[in-house]
Amino acid sequence: MSRVDVVCPDLGDFKDIPIIDVLVKVGDSIEIDTPLVTLETDKATMDVPSSAAGTIVELLVGKGSRVSKGTSLVRLESAAAATPPAPAPVQTPAQPQPAAAPAKPAAAAVPAPAPAPAPAPAAKPAAPAPAVDEPAATRTAQLLVLGAGPGGYTAAFRAADLGLKVTLVERWSTLGGVCLNVGCIPSKALLHAARVIEEAHEMSTRGIVFGAPQVDLVKLREWRSSVVRKLTGGLAALAKQRKVEVVRGEAKFLSPHVIEVTAGGKSETIRFEQCIIAAGSESVRLPFLPQDPRIIDSTGALELPDNPGEFLVIGGGIIGLEMACVFDALGARVSVVELTPQLMPGCDPDLVRPLEKRIKSRYAEILLNTRVVAVTAAAEGVQVTMEAQGGARSAKRYDHVLVAVGRSPNGGRIAADRAGVQVDKSGFIATDKQMRTNVPHIFAVGDIVGQPMLAHKATHEAKVAAEVTAGQKSYFDARVIPSVAYTDPEIAWAGLTETAAKAQNIEYEKSSFPWMASGRSLSIARDEGFTKLLFDPKTHRVLGGGIVGTSAGELISEVALAIETGADAADIGLTVHPHPTLSETVAMAAEAFEGTLTDLYLPKKR
C-alpha cells in the first residue's frame, strides 16, 4: 500500500479557480477517471478526474477552496504505485476551443506529501482516455449521439457546429425520431386537414356551402407522409452538410466508452470519448390488451385505419384528444375514456372547459373517472369493459381502439448499466443542469430524462448537452416549458398554473380576457376562447398564463417570453400589439390586471 496525492493538472491560463462541488468523500474507492471535484471559472465548469485508483483517506480541499496547477486535491491509499501524470487532457477555459473539448481536465497523482510536477499544458484539449480494458471497437467517435429524434439530431448538429467529430446512431431508416416520423409533425398535418373539414362545414351557416367532404384516405396519407419526408430528408441533408456520420442500427452500451450497434443481424462497435443519450420514449401498452390490428397506438392512428367507425380513445390526455379530433372530423363516432376526473390532467380545468363543451356535443361519449379493465378482440369488434368510479361495470363494442395512456422512456433498453449510467425503475435517466448523467462523460436529453416529454424541451436540453461536451459553460435553466394541445379549440399554458399555485400555496392574482370581446376572434367565427395571466401580487410580474382558442399554441410564446424576461403586467399592456389580432388578448389580459382595459367594462381594481 502506498499513499498518493492527486493534484490539479495544468488549467491553462487559469489560477485560483474555485471548487463548486466535491464529488467524493473519505472512504470512497475510486478508479482512474472518477471525477473528484467540479471547478468553475467564468467560462466553464469542469470536473477534475482522478489519475489514480485507490481509497480516499483524506480530502485536501473543500467546496469553496481555490485551486491552481499542482494543488493537492485528495490523498489516496493505493495498492498500485502511483500513476504518473497523464499528458494533460485539459480544457483551456480561457479560449473555449469547441473543436475537441470535453470540459474535463485529468488530475495528476503524485506520492504524498510532495506534489509531483504538473503535467505539461495540452496544446489542444482532448477527451478523457477510455480505460485500457474497454472492449475493442471497429470505429471511433469523439462524440456519439444515441438516437436521432429532436434531442439527438439537435445535439449532433450543435456539437458538429462547435467543431466536434460526431457520430449519430439511429435504429430507424429516417432521422427525426418520434416527433418528425410518428409524432408532432404527422399529427399536426392531420389536425390541419381536420380543421379544414370543420371550417368548411361551419361556413355553411354563414353563407358559403361546400358539399360533404369526400375523404380520399390514400391521398391524405400520402400528403401526411410527404410532409414528414420533406423534413426527415432535410435532416439527412443537414447531417451531411455538417459531416455528422450517421450509423444505422440498434445501439446498446458495452462499457463506459464502447457501444454496439446492430443492424440486419450484423454488429459493429464504436468507441466514443463522450456520449449524449437521446433514445426517447415509446407508447405505454396496457398489459391486458390482445394483439389485434384494430387496437392501435398513436403511430397506428396516424396511419389512418380504413373505416374507423366506433372509435374509442383510451386516455384523455393531449395525444389522445388530438387524435380524437382528427377521427371526429373524418367521420368516426368517437368516445373517450379517461381514468381521472378531468380531461387533460395537469391543465387548469377552466382551460379545458371550452374544449370539453365542444366535444361533448360532437362525440358519442366522454367517460371520466372510468377505468378500462378488460379488452377482448372478437370478429364483430373489440369488446371493452370499463369500470366507473364506484365499481359499476359496463361493456361496449368498438371498431377501433386507440390506446393513448402515456409514454415510457427507453432508458431500460440500451444496456445503460454497462456504462455505469443509472436508470430509474420507470426508465428515466437523471441528469444535472448540464444534462450530465452520473457518468461524467455521458449526457442525456429529451424524453428519456423526464417530463414534460415535449420536442421543444428535448431540443433545448440537447443544445446545452452539446455545448457542454464542447467545453462551454451552458446550463438548462429554462423558467418555463410551454405545453400545447393542438385540439379544437387549442389549449396552451406556460409557467405557473392555478392548479399548481393552489396546491403549493403560491400567492397569485389572475386576470383574463374573454375572446368574445375580441374582434379578431369573432371575425374568425370563434368566441369560446379566453386568455388568462397569473401575476405576482407584489411585483406584478407574470408567473404563468393559459390560453384556450384558435392558435393558442402560437400565442403562448409571448407569455413564455414574458416569464423568462421577468416582464410585468405594464410591460405587456404597454407593448403595442397589432390590431385586430388574437395576440391582443394577451395585452388585454395584462391591461385588465392593470385596470387600464377599455375593451371591456370591469370594476376598477387599482
Ligand X SMILES: Cc1cc2nc3c(=O)[nH]c(=O)nc-3n(C[C@H](O)[C@H](O)[C@H](O)COP(=O)(O)OP(=O)(O)OC[C@H]3O[C@@H](n4cnc5c(N)ncnc54)[C@H](O)[C@@H]3O)c2cc1C
> Which residue's CB is nearer to ligand X, number 53 or number 448?
448
CB-CB contact of 569 with 563 (8 Å): no
Q: Does 168 bind ligand X (CB under 6 A)?
A: no
CA distances from 505 to 380, 493, 498 (A): 52, 19, 10
The bridge status of strand 108-111 relative to strand 17-22 is unpaired
**Cα-based angle 184, 190, 191 (whole degrees, multiple of 5):** 80
Residue span binding ligand X (CB under 6 A) among the ranges 278-286, 373-381, 424-432, 501-509: 278-286
- For 276-286, b where at least 16 C-beta lie within 10 A, e where not — what string? bbbbbbbbeee
> Which residue's CB is nearer to ligand X, number 5 or number 170?
170
Instruction: Determine which residue in the list 98, 102, 149, 427 makes contact with ligand X, applying CB under 6 A.
Output: 149
Least separation in angstroms between residue 142's CB and ligand X is 19
CB-CB contact of 82 with 111 (8 Å): yes
Residue span binding ligand X (CB under 6 A) among the ranges 111-119, 149-157, 373-381, 472-480: 149-157
Residue by residue, DSSP assigns 490-532 as: -EEEEE--HHHHHHTT---EEEEEEGGG-HHHHHTT----EEE
At 42, the amino acid letter reads D
Q: Does 160 bind ligand X (CB under 6 A)?
A: no
Q: With CB under 6 A as the rule, give the number of residues binding ligand X.
A: 37
Least separation in angstroms between residue 576's CB and ligand X is 30
Q: Does 246 bind ligand X (CB under 6 A)?
A: no
Q: Does 482 bind ligand X (CB under 6 A)?
A: no
Least separation in angstroms between residue 146's CB and ligand X is 6
> Which residue's CB is nearer to ligand X, number 197 or number 323?
323
Least separation in angstroms between residue 314's CB and ligand X is 14
Q: Does 126 bind ligand X (CB under 6 A)?
A: no
Instruction: Determine which residue in the list 280, 308, 471, 489 makes contact with ligand X, applying CB under 6 A.
Output: 280
Phi-psi region of 331 (alpha: psi -120 to 50; beta: other; left: phi over 0): left
Least separation in angstroms between residue 414's CB and ligand X is 5
Q: Does 453 bind ligand X (CB under 6 A)?
A: yes
CB-CB contact of 149 with 278 (8 Å): yes
Least separation in angstroms between residue 398's CB and ligand X is 20
Residue span binding ligand X (CB under 6 A) among the ranges 11-19, 164-172, 201-209, 560-568: 164-172
Q: Does 465 bind ligand X (CB under 6 A)?
A: no
Burial label, 406 (beta-carbon count in 10 A; 0-12, 13-18, 19+): middle
CB-CB contact of 426 with 258 (8 Å): no
Instruction: Determine which residue in the list 17, 106, 143, 148 makes contact with ligand X, applying CB under 6 A.
Output: 148
The rounded distance, in Å, linking the Cα atoms of 264 and 502 is 54
Q: Does 317 bind ligand X (CB under 6 A)?
A: no
Residue span binding ligand X (CB under 6 A) among the ranges 93-101, 150-158, 347-355, 510-518: 150-158
Q: Does 324 bind ligand X (CB under 6 A)?
A: no
Q: Which of residues 488-547 bind ligand X (CB under 6 A)?
A: none
- For 380-394, b where at least 16 C-beta lie within 10 A, e where not — what string? ebbebebeeeeeeee
The rounded distance, in Å, linking the Cα atoms of 23 and 243 is 36
The rounded distance, in Å, linking the Cα atoms of 30 and 464 is 28
Q: Does 178 bind ligand X (CB under 6 A)?
A: yes
Query: What DSSP element (H or E) covers 299?
Result: helix 298-302
Spot the catalytic one: 257, 400, 577, 579. Answer: 579
* Active-site annotation holds for 579: yes
Q: Does 551 bind ligand X (CB under 6 A)?
A: no
What secondary structure letter does DSSP report for 69? T
CA atoms within 13 A of residue 398's CA, in its CB half-sphere? 29
Instruction: Determine which residue in the list 106, 143, 179, 423 makes contact with ligand X, applying CB under 6 A.
Output: 179
Residue span binding ligand X (CB under 6 A) among the ranges 424-432, 444-452, 556-564, 584-592: 444-452
Classify the C-alpha dihedral 567-572-576-577 as positive or negative: positive
CB-CB contact of 458 with 481 (8 Å): no
Q: Does 228 bind ligand X (CB under 6 A)?
A: no
Least separation in angstroms between residue 524's CB and ligand X is 22
Name 212's Cβ contacts closer than 8 Å, sequence gap at least 6.
Answer: none
Residue span binding ligand X (CB under 6 A) among the ranges 22-30, 113-121, 406-414, 466-474: 406-414
CA distances from 143 to 16, 152, 272, 470 (A): 30, 12, 6, 9
Least separation in angstroms between residue 603's CB and ligand X is 39
> Which residue's CB is nearer to ligand X, number 11 or number 319?
319
Least separation in angstroms between residue 502's CB and ligand X is 26
CB-CB contact of 47 with 23 (8 Å): yes
> Which residue's CB is nearer to ligand X, number 374 or number 430?
430
> Which residue's CB is nearer to ligand X, number 72 or number 167?
167
Tell me how many helices (H) and strands (E) the chain has.
Answer: 13, 31
Residue span binding ligand X (CB under 6 A) among the ranges 183-191, 374-382, 559-567, 584-592: 183-191
Instruction: Determine which residue in the list 12, 300, 446, 545 makes contact with ligand X, applying CB under 6 A.
Output: 446
Query: What DSSP element (H or E) covers 3?
Result: strand 2-7
Least separation in angstroms between residue 86's CB and ligand X is 32
Instruction: Determine which residue in the list 456, 540, 541, 577 makes contact with ligand X, applying CB under 6 A.
Output: 456
Catalytic residue numbers read 579
* Residues of the shown chain interacting with ligand X in the complex, contacts defined by CB under 6 A: 146-152, 169-172, 177-179, 183-184, 187, 250-251, 278-281, 298, 319, 410, 413-414, 446-448, 453-456, 458, 486
